[in-house]
Amino acid sequence: MSIRSKRDLEVELSKLQGFVSPRVELEQYALTSSIAADWIWQMALRGEIAGKVILDAGCGPGILGLGVLLMGAKRVFFVDKDEEAIKICRENYKVLHAEYEIGEGEFMVHDIRLFDAEVDVVIENPPFGTKVEHADKIFLEKAFASARVVYSMHKKSTMKFVEAITRDFGFVITHTYQYEFPIKAQFVFHEKRVEHVEVMVFRMERG
């Protein structure tokens, strides 16, 4: 089998196992298959997936990294400090590997700051930084040190911060994609059944 359309990709990603016991301090909110598929499809159209080595930083269950493997990535590093999330990610990889010819996945349970390899592209949906201050900054700093091209998703309200840190590290924002990110009530402080948050995926490239 092969992925022939964005819809095909979205369908396959929707079958993946998500978080079982999401951790509030890590802001583990499941990325929807529709957002992930659109994000990955844009990368593929730009020739930034096939044959590439990619880091999925703070991968969680792995929807982004597994998506790029389905689109022809050579190798993906899945890095997350949550052991349970990596376990789910491994299982998702096994399921896809049984059905598709996909590249290699390497799974690491540790803080993103400890990652020390160079890759072609970094993809990340980091914590928004609302529970642990500057958590998003840590992910961006590591991403800029690891690749020439970075795709990172943040709240639209933090756009000024993203623009500033991008400049500080000698990168430029070349493209942005805006989405309504549905966050389902999963923690005690959530008052709505579903909260829609305006987010943006930033494509950043070393200048």
Domain ranges of the chain: 6-150
Tens-place pLDDT, residues 175-195: 999 999 887 655 444 456 677
More confident of the two residues 32 and 129: 32
State yes or no: pLDDT of 87 exceeds 50. yes
Q: Of 83, 79, 173, nearest to 126 (Cα)?
A: 79
In the three-class reduction of DSSP (H, G, I as helix; E, B as strand; rest coil), residue 165 is classed as helix
At 123, the amino acid letter reads I
Contact 137, 165 (CB under 8 A): yes
Residue 96, sorted as left (phi over 0), alpha (psi -120 to 50) or beta, turns out to be alpha
- pLDDT of 30 reads 80
* Topology annotation, domain 6-150: Rossmann fold (3.40.50)
% residues pLDDT > 90 (the chain): 79
Q: What is the H or E stretch that residue 152 is in?
A: strand 149-155
Q: Which of 2-11, 63-72, 132-141, 172-181 has the lowest mean pLDDT?
A: 132-141
Question: What's the pTM?
Answer: 0.91
